[in-house]
Every structure is written in C-alpha cells, then in structure tokens.
Chain A
Amino acid sequence: MTDDTYAIEARGLVKRFRKTTALDGVDLAARAGTVLGLLGPNGAGKTTAVRILATLLRQDAGEARICGFDTTRDAHQVRQLVGLTGQYASVDDGLSGTSNLVMIGRLLGMSRKNAKSRASELLGRFELTEAAGRPASTYSGGMRRRLDLAASLVGRPRVLYLDEPTTGLDPRSRNEMWGIIRDLVADGVTVLLTTQYMEEADQLAHDITVIDHGRVIATGTPDDLKAASGSRVLEVTPADHGRLADVATLISERISAPAAVHSDSGTVSVQVADGTSLPAVVRVLEDKGIELAEFTLRKPSLDEVFLALTGDSPSPSLSAKDGDGS
C-alpha cells in the first residue's frame, strides 16, 4: 500500500493536448502536513498538474494518489479530501460573499444553519465580514482571492491546492495570503503551492519541485537547491557608488567570470566556485585604492538558482544530481 507519510504522490504523470506535451513524466511527493512548492515559469505545466491532482483532468499516463486514493479510480473520495484555489479566482460574481460560501456548504451536505455559521466564521477569519453581503463582483483582487480560498476551505480539506495564489496581488495582499497559508499548515493541512516566484517558494515551501517544459528539473528543500547549484555568490559594495563599474571590471578580470552590476543597491555580484579567490579580489581592490562598504560571500538566492535551472545554460552539477524527473 501507499506510504501514509505522503499526502500527495504522483508518478510519471503525462498529459498531452493535441500536439503539445504539457506534462512529460512528472513525479511529485508532498509529505503530510507540509508545503510542496511547485515552481516553474508560465507554461511549465504547473496548472495541468494541479488539475490532474484535483480530478478535473485525466492524465494520459502515470498515476496520482491523494492520501492513498487514486485520482481516477477513487475520484469521489479524492474530492472529499481536497480543496482547490485556482489562479483565476473561481467565485460566483453574481452572489454575495456569504451566499458563495453557504452554497458550497450546502453542496457539501451541511444543514442551512451549519452552512451559514461556517460561512460567517470563514468570512470573519479572512476579514470579509464587512463585505459579506455585497456581490463578489464588487470585491478587489485580494478580497476575491481570500473569498476563493475561503470557498475551498468550507469542507475542511486535508489537502489544499493553491494555484498561483498571489499572482497579480499587491505586496500587502500577498503578505496576508502568506500568513494565511502558514496558519493552515500549522493546522496540519498539506499544501501544494504552485508559483512562479522563487521568493514565495523560499518563504513557504518545505520541499520544492522545479518543473520546466513539463519535466521535473530539480527537487529538494530550498537549501538543497541553493547548495546544489554548487556555487556561491560574491557581493561587493564599494563605499563610493561612482566606482561600481571599476569594481565590476577588476573583479571579472581577476577571476575571469562575468560580474553583474546592481546600480540600485550599489553592489557588484559574481558567481564563484568557492572562497579561494577572495584574497586575490580583496588585494586587487586594495591596490586600486577602492574602499569597501560590504564584502560578502553567500549562497545563491532561489531566483538565481531558478534562472540557472531554466535558463539556457543550466548548471551541470544540478542536472547530474536531479536527473530523476526526466
């Protein structure tokens, strides 16, 4: 039987739409009570994967299990366990916030009274009480997302799919959404979160699966992924902003690697294999009389890893390590 520790398990998912292959053998696994980040650019196949796991779409090959129930054979059971919040908030514009939630509660078999109290509880939690009686068509983007999420929580799902829950939200609404997701996980819900934002996956996910063109190109914890790119980032901030260009030229000559200039933060960054070249960099800058405000060696951000993974020149060490998905 299936391992109980995984709330979501998918093996070798394949889905084709006419000529395009949306998923080309994708494996996914989310441990119960954790957040699995499914990361990828537009068109990578994230939404297709979510739709299969939510029984909205049938895969051409492979299988998926939710808490041990097969998404095709036991679809009815799976639907009782999962909640889905889509990228495009699927609330009924013509109904008020309350009616939207009462409708879901009634559909799930609650009595009128229970459905109403559940609705007002969720509206209160998501700060929609004041707007509860208004049609959803009058809601702002952030409010719609919260109502959509509330709708998927009416049935107290054990597994929640969040398909790009913060795309298009302003920073404040995004932070609110992050807080809500953290609270849900604290309550034991397993979350599958798809996102294009590295920072979001970094903030919320326990494990990350990176997909591109329907294939898994990396899996691991955020730290694994950062470490796996095998390099470090050297950041140098000259005290004199005017010498940024000089610093960039000197460093890239010294260690023969392209240096990126970030003029807004006043730093130069460059990928280095390890710390052995640092003394040489310090020396050449000292020789030229450049005073330094900051000098740091750090792990690459997930954004940098992501670019390295999905860009034209993926890091060889990573593709060697994470060949399991393809």
Chain B
Amino acid sequence: MTALDFPGVPGPAGSAGPAPARRLSPVTGLRNTFTLTWRSLLKLKTNYEEILSLSLTPIMYLLLFTYVFGGAVSGNVHNYLQYVLPGILVISVVFSTLGTGMALSQDMATGVFDRFRSLPISRTAPLAGAVLGDVARYAISVAISLLFGMLLGFRIQTSPLAAVAGCLLVLVFAMAMCWFSALLGLLVKQARSVQWMGSLIYFPLTFGSNVLVKTSTLPGWMQAFVKGNPLTFLTEAERGLLVGGPVATPVIRSLLWALGLFVVFAPLAVRAYRRKT
C-alpha cells in the first residue's frame, strides 16, 4: 500500500535494519536530558495559566505579609519589607518546588512516562530534564518577588554582586529541595495528593522559621524547631546577602543542607522512577 510510504520503515520480514546499539553513551544521556528540559520549557511558554500562577503567587505573598504583619511586627511597613522580602524569596521558591512533583505525577497518570520508558533513552533523563526545566520556573518566581518587592520600596543594601549570589543560592537550594517533591510525585497517584501532602510538610517548614518574625519572639520549644530548620539558615543567608548581616555561616549551612537534601532525595527519586511499574 503506497499510501503509507515511510522511507526507512523496515522492509519485509527478515530484512532487519541496522543492529541495535548495546548501550547508551553518556553524551546521548545528556542530550536526552536537554531535550526533556526543552519540553518542560516549551510547556511553560505555552501555558499562560502557569506563568500567571508563578508570577501572582509571590506578589500575593508580598502584599499580604507586608501589609498584614508589617505594622504589628516592625512598627511600619517599610522596615518590615526590608526584613521579610528575603524570606518571601525563600517561601515562594520552596512552594513552587511542589510543581515539580505535581508535573511528574501527572506524567505518570497520563502515560507520558510510559512512553519515555519504552524509548531507548537515558533512564534518568525524564527526571533530570523535568528538574532543569523547573529551575527556570524558580527563577521566574525569584525575579518576580525581588522586582515587585523593589516596586513596593525594598532596597538592596549590599551590592549587586551579593544580590545575584543571593538569587543563585536560593535557586541552588530549590534544585535540591525539588527532588523531595519529585519523590513525592513518583510515590503518590494523583497530582492533587502531591499538593496537599507537600503543603503539610512545607507549611510548618516555611512558617516555623525566621521568615516572618524574629526567632527570639517565639516560645522556647518552637525556637528549638526554628533553629534547626534549614529554611531558617537559608533566610538568614538571604538577609545577609540582600540587606546585610552575617553571611558566611548561614550560606555554608544552607549549601550543606542543599547537598544533604540532594544526596538523600535524588537517588530515592531515581530509584522510585526506575521501579515504577
């Protein structure tokens, strides 16, 4: 039947094409990852709803926290904005990592991952590609938080270089944290479950930190939790880099936490992905 003229479709039975390759080269694996990063970014580009949600969420946080708590916590809105904005960067990015798990969970449910798994491609590329694509999402979230904050009156009191370092640090942390979200996405059946389970963990982590108020104002038992919370270190580091204060110790601690999260959750997520049946 000439209607189906696929050049290169193997001919009649027996006339096999080239022998299949025995294994995948690392270069191919990297290429696969970039292709799937492209996929993730392409979806971002065409999905206005997602872009809107990524931009509006930090704006909402900023407006709410600044104007609701500003007077009570710091006496005036401007002082509080200088205090809270570095923390808002952290909250926005941490919550947007939930999107990683939700997208993966959706890929599982719709069978897109089955397609990937049936292809001769790197086994880790679908995960790595998704994470790399999400870094762009986190960057949008950071940029919007910072720019909108500046519009409200936030001023960087250090140097542009330190501010850039602050943005990079929060992105690095998000890249590590999103593996936890990825693991969650691979373990639960529905994207909605990722959202509520993630929130159950993320709310205490974000609010049980020094993001909104000074640790010294909290009851003793809670101070203990806050002082061990990685987001406290990250927020402290962001404050140091954006408005001034101690930098070295909180930055190192944040990076160590990021490394720890990555070392624990990335292999678990990859394993869960490989086992998925």
Contacts and interface: CB of A to CB of B under 8 A. Distances in A.
A151 interface: yes
Given A84-B115, A86-B111, A95-B42, A187 B120 contact: no
B16 A79 contact: no
A92 B47 CA distance: 13
Contacts of A51: 277
B1 A183 contact: yes
A189 B10 contact: yes
Interface string A69-104: 100001011111111101011111111100100011
Interface string A1-35: 00011010000000000000000000000011100
B103 to A, nearest CB: 9
Interface stretch (B21-29, B165-173, B226-234): B21-29
A33 B16 CA distance: 11
Nearest to A69: B20
Given A77-B22, A89-B111, A103-B39, A84 B10 contact: no
Contacts of A156: 6, 8-10, 17
Nearest to A125: B4
Given A77-B20, A106-B35, A186-B4, A94 B43 contact: yes
Contacts of A153: 6
A94 B133 CA distance: 14
B47 A57 contact: no
A158 B4 contact: no
B208 to A, nearest CB: 35
Contacts of B121: 107-108
Contacts of B16: 67, 158
Interface in B85-117: 110-112, 114-117
A76 B24 contact: yes
Nearest to B24: A76
B217 interface: no
Interface string B193-236: 00000000000000000000000000000000000000000000
Contact of A190 (B4, B13, B17): B13
A267 interface: no
A86 B116 CA distance: 12
Interface of B is mostly: loop
A218 interface: no
A310 B235 CA distance: 65
Contacts of B32: 107
B47 A104 contact: no
B15 A188 contact: yes
A32 B14 contact: yes
Contacts of A4: 14
Nearest to A186: B1
A76 B120 contact: yes
A54 interface: yes
B248 interface: no
B110 A76 contact: no
Contacts of B151: none
Given A4-B14, A31-B13, A104 B6 contact: no
Contacts of A103: 35-36, 38-39
A213 B35 CA distance: 41
Contacts of B22: 74, 76-77
A47 B167 CA distance: 47
Interface in A50-73: 51, 54-58, 67, 69
A46 B47 CA distance: 36
A92 B118 contact: no
B112 A92 contact: yes
B20 A188 contact: no
Contacts of B28: 109
A32 B13 contact: yes
Contacts of A189: 9-10
B72 interface: no
A58 B274 CA distance: 11
A81 B116 CA distance: 14
B118 A54 contact: yes
A79 B119 contact: yes
Contact of B13 (A7, A55, A56, A86): A7
A232 interface: no
B161 interface: no
A49 to B, nearest CB: 14
A47 to B, nearest CB: 11
A290 interface: no
Contacts of B8: 156
B52 interface: no
Interface string A115-155: 00000010001000000000100000000000000011101
A204 B173 CA distance: 55
Given A5-B13, A156-B6, 15 more contacts: A77-B21, A80-B20, A80-B21, A88-B110, A90-B110, A106-B31, A106-B35, A107-B119, A121-B6, A125-B4, A151-B115, A153-B6, A186-B1, A188-B10, A189-B10
Interface of A: 4-5, 7, 31-33, 51, 54-58, 67, 69, 74, 76-84, 86, 88-96, 99, 103-104, 106-109, 121, 125, 135, 151-153, 155-156, 158, 180, 182-184, 186-190
30 contacts: A31-B13, A33-B13, A55-B117, A74-B22, A76-B20, A76-B24, A81-B20, A83-B118, A84-B114, A86-B115, A90-B111, A93-B110, A94-B46, A94-B47, A96-B46, A99-B42, A103-B36, A106-B35, A107-B119, A108-B119, A109-B28, A121-B6, A125-B4, A125-B6, A152-B115, A158-B16, A183-B3, A184-B4, A188-B12, A189-B9
